[in-house]
Amino acid sequence: MLNEIELRDKLVNGKITVAVYGLGHIGSPILAAWLLSGARGIGVDIDERKVELLNKGMSPVKEPCLEEIFKRAREEGKLWATTNGVEASRRSDVKIIAVPTLLKGAEWPKNPDLSAIKLAAKNISLGLKKGDLVIVESSVPPGTTRNLVKPILEESGLKAGKDFGLAYSPERIAEGRALRDIVESYPKIIGGIDKRSTRVTSILYSQIAKKGVIEVSNDIVAEFEKLAEGIYRDVNIALANELAGLARVLGIDYDEVMAAANSQPYSHLHRPGTGVGGLCIPIYPHFLSWIAKERGLRLTLTEEARKINESMPRKIVELVVEGIKKLEIGSPKVSVLGLAFRGDVPDPRMSPTYDLLEELRRRGIDIVAVHDPFIEEDPRLDELGIPLTKNLDEALSLPNIALISTDHSIYRLKLSELFGKYRNILLVIDGRHILDVDMIPPGKGYVGIGRPWLLG
């Protein structure tokens, strides 16, 4: 085993090649971070378009700084992309699994879909060599690294911990700042199947993560920690949504309550909203609940919080129906503002907006358009026959109801400004509390998820 100084020198001097399996919103910034540290890189994906983009020095995903890093690495001959995961394994020293883990089934909890993990591990095993290091970074149920990945890798005839290293190190990034989060924002959590795997992974990642590394006792701790981070947020968002609903019916503003409560250092009330989307937080509760169920336990708080957040699109549409009755709107037509699951990112995956649209349709409310400044096309909206536009004037020129679903910065307007410019709008439903509520014209209506009704 190389000592710490030798390992760091190899990395900095480009003598270590890392193959990243999965070139999506997680894998691409991970690959860029290793390239920045001095490593040579191989990008691996089953999507030929992503591979083609990377081989042109272009980023497969929209993230700050990635394109510049990939372009320079290609020009220096330090980067290559392929759909051949076996060849990438043969040609690399470090293999990082960053493929998506999804859900399948309908009952609670849904089952984890680890098919992409299995495929990546199988390809790695067919090219695995003595002295290699495999790091799993995909979010997975606790025990996946040692109980699923390890046996597949050992089909190579090599033994984990003896012939090659194996560790789990969760990604801790948010879209729109992914590379910065890896390199600058947080310490890297490292948990190996043995002490040697943990140490080697830590030495390498200490050259990448400026906030350093945190070594935990094993891979299961690291896997659990990642899910616990997301579930903490899910549970607290559910609490915010529940309290916001009560604040609204009491005729007070939840935001004022939140600001006052959070002046106490032990209170960390979150913001309410139309739901929780993306391929992280909505999935993690199922992973932990699934593994708990297998062991005869039930995570009741985790389960209830997830159900509260999943119910929010329906509750928002109930506010639309309530507003239609209050204002006696005869032919309601709504435009939904925001398709992305989070503000100022171009990613609609598992966005609560989709559930909003389905509920509006179920209630027979005409949907004029969906507006999003960052998303140009969406196959799911095409299937539903709902127009998608990046032009806010176009989205708000025809409907009489505006429903804000995503907290994009472009929607940070004064309520009087919105009503003044779009006189056809009679009702505004603010699902993200993003509007500055200054005044309400006669004949108009406004409500926020945690704000009382205002009728002009």
- The tokens for 285 are 């509760």
State the distance between the two ends of the chain, measured CA to CA, in whole angstroms.
74
Q: Is 65 a catalytic residue?
A: no
Q: Is 226 a catalytic residue?
A: yes
- CB neighbourhood size of 258 (10 A): 21
Chain centroid, CA 278 distance in Å: 4
CA neighbor of 164 nearest in space, from 128, 189, 191, 136: 128
- Of residues 50, 95, 150, 226, which has the active-site annotation? 226
Chain centroid, CA 26 distance in Å: 9
What is the Cα–Cα distance from 385 to 396, expressed in whole angstroms? 18
What DSSP string runs through 357-409?
Answer: HHHHHHTT-EEEEEE-SS----HHHHHHT--EES-HHHHHSS-SEEEE-S--G
Q: Cβ(17)–Cβ(166) under 8 Å?
A: no
- Of residues 50, 150, 188, 280, which has the active-site annotation? 280
What is the Cα–Cα distance from 41 to 31, expressed in whole angstroms? 7
Active site residues: 226, 280
